[in-house]
Amino acid sequence: MQTSSPRAEAPSTIEVDSYLSQFRLSYGRNLQARGRRHLDEMLELLSEFLAERGVRVVSRTPRRGERAPSALLDAIDEFESDEMQDAFEGNREQLRVADGALRALNRQLRALF
């Protein structure tokens, strides 16, 4: 019996907004309604942030209009250190939910690529 690694089965290209929608469903499943609203707001801001930077499609072997996984991970780090802190300043609960969600998203993406 031959086994394959999860990385071999992972898609080589992802559409970022679609991936964020799937993440919203899986991560938000365990949150209360207020936490899901915070998650939705953070993911909406992240989606806009990534789109502004041209990170819409990510591929292991990027072609025209696609970005490398490192570009996505770098943009998420930039969002976390700059945009998110400013957007949620003063709302500790929202910042806590967003921090946890971004850590989980980063882990998933690093495992995917």
pLDDT tens figures, 33-59: 999 999 999 999 999 999 999 999 999
The encoded tokens of residue 7 equal 């990385």
| Residue in 111, 107, 50, 41 with CA at minimum distance from that of residue 79 | 50
Position 113 confidence tier, pLDDT thresholds 50, 70, 90: confident
C-alpha 80, offset from chain centre: 11
Q: What is the mean pLDDT of the chain?
A: 90
- Which pair of structure tokens corresponds to residue 30? 């365990």
Cα 2 from Cα 86, distance rounded (Å): 49
Closest to 58 in 3D by CA, of 99, 100, 105 = 105
Spatial distance between the Cα atoms of 58 and 92, rounded to a whole number of angstroms: 32
pTM (2 decimals)?
0.86
Work out the average pLDDT over 23-36: 96
